[in-house]
Chain A
Amino acid sequence: MAWTWFHRLASPPHVYALAARLTPWFAWPAALLIAAGLWGGLVLAPPDYQQGDGFRILYVHAPSAWMSLMVYTTMAIAAAVGLIWRMKVAHAVAASCAPIGASFTFAALVTGALWGEPMWGTYWEWDPRMTSELVLLFLYLGYMGLRAGIEDTQRADRASALLAVVGVVNVPIIHYSVTWWNSLHQAPSVMRIGKPSMPAAMLAPLLLMLLGFTLLFVALLLVRLRGEVLARERAASWIREVVSG
C-alpha cells in the first residue's frame, strides 16, 4: 500500500497533471521568500564591519552555490532511481534538473567574481570553493553534452544517469583534492563571510533566500518536467487527450 504512490509517480500522465497542480504552490512562496530575503539582505541588514555594503552580494551568491550542489545531488538521485528501477519519469526529472543546476552554478561563479573584484581586487583567485564550483559547472556541461551526443533517448538517459552517479561520487574527492592543493600554495582560503559570527539580522535574510531558492528550484523543475514529459511521450495517446481537452 505504501508503494502505490511510488508506482503512480512512474506514470507520465499522472506526473504531468501533478506537476501542473503543484507548481503554483512552490512558485508563489518562492517569489515571496526571495523578495523578503532580498529586502532583508539589501536594505535591512547592517553593513559588514569589514566589507561595508559589498558583502550583500552574498545573498545571491551563497544560495546559488548551495543550490548548485543540491541540484546535482537531486539529479544524481533521480538518475540512480531511473537506472535501478528503470523509471522513465526519474530520467525525465534528472534531465530537467541539469540546466537549472548549471544556471545556479553559473550564477554562483559570476556573483563570486563580482564580489571579489571590489573586495579583493581580482575577479578570480582560485580559492578552493570557487575552483570546485567551476569544476561542478564542467560536470554539468559534461552531463548535458553526453545527453545531447546520444540520439536514442533511452540510451542517453541511462548513459547520462551513470555519469551523474559517477560524478556525485567524485565531487567530494575533487573538492578535497582542490582544497589540499590550495592549502599548499597560499594562506588559509579566503572566507567570504565568517558564518558562525554572523548577527541574526544578517543571517535571517540569508536563510530566507536559501529557502526561497530551494522552492524556486522545485517550481522550475516542475515546469521543465512537464515539458520533458510532453516531449518524451509525444506519440502516446494520453497526450492527444490532454492537448485537445
Chain B
Amino acid sequence: MSSTGSPVTPLVAMVDSARLGGPHGLAEAMQPASALEAARLALLRDLQLAFRKRGQLLQPLAFFVMVALLFPLAVSPEPARLRELAPAVLWIGALLASLLALEFLFRDDAYDGTLEQYALSGQSLTSLMFAKTLAHWLLTGVPLALMAPVVAMSLGVVAAPALAGIVLAVGVGTVPLSLIGSIGAALTLGIKRSGTLLSLLTLPLSLPALIFGARATQLAIHGAPLLAPLELLGALAVLGITLAPIAAAAAVRISLE
C-alpha cells in the first residue's frame, strides 16, 4: 500500500482512508460530531434508558415520601408542629433520595464499558459528564421538586404561594446536589458497597445547599420573600455547573486508569 509520503494529521488520515476505497466509499463523508451534538446524544441516551426502566425512576420518589411519612409518626401529627418541621423533612428527604439515585448515574456505564467509550470518544468528557448530570437532575431533582408540594400538604402547608415557593426551592436546590453527587459517584466507581462512603463524601459538601434550601423553604411556608436564600442557591448551582463536571470527568479518568 503506497503512503502519501508526507506527514498526515489524524483528520486528513481519516479522509485519506475513505479516498483509498473500501465498501463505504465517499458517499458518507466523515463529519465529526460537534460537542453540542455529542452532549445532546448523551443526554437523550440516559433519558431513554431511564424510561426503559421506569420502575427504577420511581424508587427515589417513593423513598422521599417514605421519609416524609416517618416524621409525623416519630414526632407528632399536630399540624402546627408539622408545619414547623416541614422544611427539614422536605430537605432531608430530598437529600437522601438524591443520594440514593446517584448510584444509577455512572454504575451501569462503568460496568458495560460505555463510560470508557465516552472517555475515548474524542469529545470533551467534561461536557459529556455535564449532560449525564443534567439527565440525572431531570430524572431525580425535577420529580422531587414536583413531589415536594404534595408532601408539604401532608405536613400542613396549604397556601398556594408557599407550595410554589417550595417547588422553586427544591427545584433549584437539587441542582447543586446532583452536581456534587456526580463527583462523589465518579470517585467511588468500582468500590464495592460504596453507598455509605458515597454519603460520607457527598453530605458535607452538600451542606451549603441544604442550609440555603431549607431556609428558602421555611420562608416560603411563612409567606415571606425567599429571594435571598434562593439567590444563594442559584449561585451554588452556577458554581457547580461550572466546576463539578470538570471534577467528575477527572474522577472518571482516574477510575479508568
Beta-carbon contact of B204 and A184 below 8 Å: no
- A177 close to B208 (CB less than 8 A): yes
Contact A145 B197 (CB under 8 A): yes
CB-defined contacts of B204 to chain A, threshold 8 Å? 135, 138-139, 142, 170, 174
B247 touching A154, Cβ below 8 Å = no
Q: Nearest-CB distance from A169 to chain B (Å)?
A: 7
Docked CA distance A135–B205 (Å): 9
Tell whether, in the assembled complex, residue B215 and residue A184 are in contact, meaning their CB atoms are under 8 Å apart. yes
A143 (CB) vs chain B CBs: closest residue = B201
> What is the CA–CA distance of A149 and B190 in the complex, to the nearest angstrom?
10
- Judge whether A162 and B207 touch: CB under 8 Å: no
Name the B residues within 8 Å of A181 (CB-CB): 211, 215
Given A149-B191, A150-B191, A162-B247, verify A177-B200 contact (CB < 8 Å). no
Q: Determine the interface band of chain A, counting residues with CB < 8 A from chain B.
A: 20 to 34
CB distance from B104 to the nearest CB of A (A): 20
Looking at B190, B204, B236, the one whose CB has the most chain A CB atoms below 10 A away is B204
On whether A142 and B200 interact (CB within 8 A), knowing A150-B191, A177-B208, the answer reads yes
Would you give the 0/1 interface string for A138-161, flagging 1 where the beta carbon is closer than 8 Å to chain B? 110110011001100011001100
Quick check: is B142 within 8 A (CB to CB) of the other chain? no
Residues B228-257 near A (CB distance < 8 A) = 232, 236, 239, 243, 247, 250-251, 254-255, 257
| Residues from 104 to 119 in B contacting A, C-beta threshold 8 Å | none
Q: How far is the CA of A159 from the CA of B190 in the complex (A)?
A: 12
The distance in angstroms between the C-alpha atoms of A74 and B197, with both chains bound, is: 23
Question: Quick one: given A139-B204, A149-B191, A155-B254, are A166 and B183 in contact (CB under 8 Å)?
Answer: yes
A163 within 8 A of B: yes
A165, A170, A176, A184: the one contacting B205 at CB < 8 Å is A170
Interface residues in B, total, Cβ within 8 A: 27
Q: Mark B74-97, 1 if CB is under 8 A from A, else 0.
A: 000000000000000000000000
Q: Are B257 and A167 in contact (CB under 8 A)?
A: no
Closest to B199 in A: A142
- Is A180 at the interface (CB under 8 A from chain B)? yes
In the complex, what distance in Å separates the CA atom of A162 from the CA atom of B201?
12
Question: A155 contacts which chain B residues (CB < 8 A)?
Answer: 254-255, 257
B33-57: CB near A (< 8 Å → 1, else 0) gives 0000000000000000000000000
| Chain A residue at minimum C-beta to C-beta distance from B196 | A145
Cβ of A9: which chain B residues have Cβ within 8 Å of it? none
The answer, among B194, B215, B232, B255, for a CB contact under 8 Å with A149, is B194
| Interface assignment of B212: CB less than 8 Å from any CB of chain A | yes
Residue B203 at the chain A interface, CB threshold 8 Å? yes
A residues less than 8 Å from B208 (CB atoms): 170, 173-174, 176-177
Are the CB atoms of B207 and A177 closer together than 8 Å?
yes
| Candidate in B207, B232, B239 with the most chain A CB atoms within 10 angstroms | B207
* Given A174-B204, A178-B211, A146:B247 Cβ within 8 A: no
CB-nearest residue of chain A relative to B200?
A142
User: How far, in angstroms, from A169 to B251 measured CA to CA in the complex?
Assistant: 16
B residues less than 8 Å from A142 (CB atoms): 197, 200-201, 204
* B215 → A minimal CB distance (Å): 7
A163, B201: Cβ atoms closer than 8 Å: yes
List A163-209 residues whose CB lies under 8 Å from chain B: 163, 165-167, 169-170, 173-174, 176-178, 180-181, 184
With a cutoff of 8 Å between Cβ atoms, the chain B residues found around residue A165 in the complex are 247
Residue from A138, A149, A170, A177 within 8 A of B211 (CB atoms): A177
- Cβ-defined contact, B187 with A138, below 8 A: no
| Distance from A181 Cβ to chain B, minimum over Cβ atoms (Å) | 5
Q: Least Cβ distance of A98 to chain B in Å? A: 14
A149-B197 in contact given A138-B203, A177-B208, A180-B211 (Cβ < 8 Å): yes
Q: Which residues of A contact B98 (CB under 8 A)?
A: none
Output the nearest chain A residue to B202 by Cβ-Cβ distance: A142
Q: Which residue of B lies closest to A152 (CB)?
A: B257
Question: Are B207 and A135 in contact, with the CB atoms below 8 A?
Answer: yes
Cα A166 to Cα B251 with chains together (Å) = 11
Q: Is residue B174 within 8 Å, beta carbon to beta carbon, of the partner chain?
A: no
What is the CB-to-nearest-CB distance from A167 to chain B, in angstroms, rounded to a whole number? 7
Complex Cα spacing A149 to B232, Å: 34
Cβ contacts A89-121/B at 8 Å (1 or 0 each): 000000000000000000000000000000000
**Contacting residues, chain B, for A146 (C-beta < 8 A):** 187-188, 197, 201
Closest to A166 in B: B247
Q: Which residue numbers of B lie inside 8 Å of A, CB to CB?
A: 183, 187-188, 190-191, 194, 197, 200-201, 203-205, 207-208, 211-212, 215, 232, 236, 239, 243, 247, 250-251, 254-255, 257
